[in-house]
């Protein structure tokens, strides 16, 4: 199986069949684990349901990444705008909003560079 990494920490994950069409994904690095159900009747017993479980995890992973990134960016911006309200030009010569957004973008592009080099 070629599984995408954990969307929370980027760690390697394992997937196993736990019975009754349930599949479980565990992160090796952080405490994240998730379970989902794949219809063997619909997708085929054995390889069919394993392929569907793999496809579903890999799809979910990238969608969750994007949602998490958007949420994080919003949270950072909100916090920064909130902070700016209480700070005058005298003690904040550089805009914290600009600073934090640049820092965030740099972190995100570093992350995607890392993902691309991992294949
Ligand atoms: Zn993890």
Task: Measure 89 CA to ligand 1 centroid, in angstroms.
Answer: 41
Q: Is the predicted pLDDT of residue 119 greater than 80, yes or no?
A: no
Over residues 8-21, the mean pLDDT reads: 91
Residue-wise DSSP of the chain: --PPPPTTT---EEEEEEETTEEEEEESSSS-EEEEE--HHHH-TTHHHHHHHHHHHHHHHHHHHHHHHHHHHHHHHHHHHHHHHT--TTT-SS-HHHHHHHHHHHHHHHHHHHHHHT-
Task: Measure 13 CA to ligand 1 centroid, in angstroms.
Answer: 7
Task: Measure 11 CA to ligand 1 centroid, in angstroms.
Answer: 5
Tell me: the pLDDT tens digits for 31-89? 989 888 999 889 999 899 999 999 989 887 666 777 777 877 787 777 777 766 666 65
Task: Measure 118 CA to ligand 1 centroid, in angstroms.
Answer: 17
> What pLDDT shows up at residue 25?
94
Which of 8-12, 17-21, 85-89, 104-108 is predicted with the least confidence, judged by mean pLDDT?
85-89
């Amino acid at each position: 199986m070629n599984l995408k990494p954990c969307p929370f920490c980027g760690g390697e994950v394992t997937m196993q069949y736990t019975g009754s069409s349930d599949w479980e994904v565990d992160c090796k690095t952080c405490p994240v684990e998730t379970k989902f159900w794949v219809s063997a009747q619909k997708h085929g017993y054995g390889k069919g349901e394993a392929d569907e479980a793999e496809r579903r995890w890999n799809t979910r992973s990238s969608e969750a990444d994007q949602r998490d990134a958007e949420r994080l960016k919003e949270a950072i911006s909100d916090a920064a705008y909130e902070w700016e309200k209480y700070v005058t030009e005298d003690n904040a010569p550089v805009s914290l909003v600009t600073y934090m957004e640049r820092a965030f973008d740099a972190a995100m592009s570093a992350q995607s560079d890392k993902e691309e080099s991992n294949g």
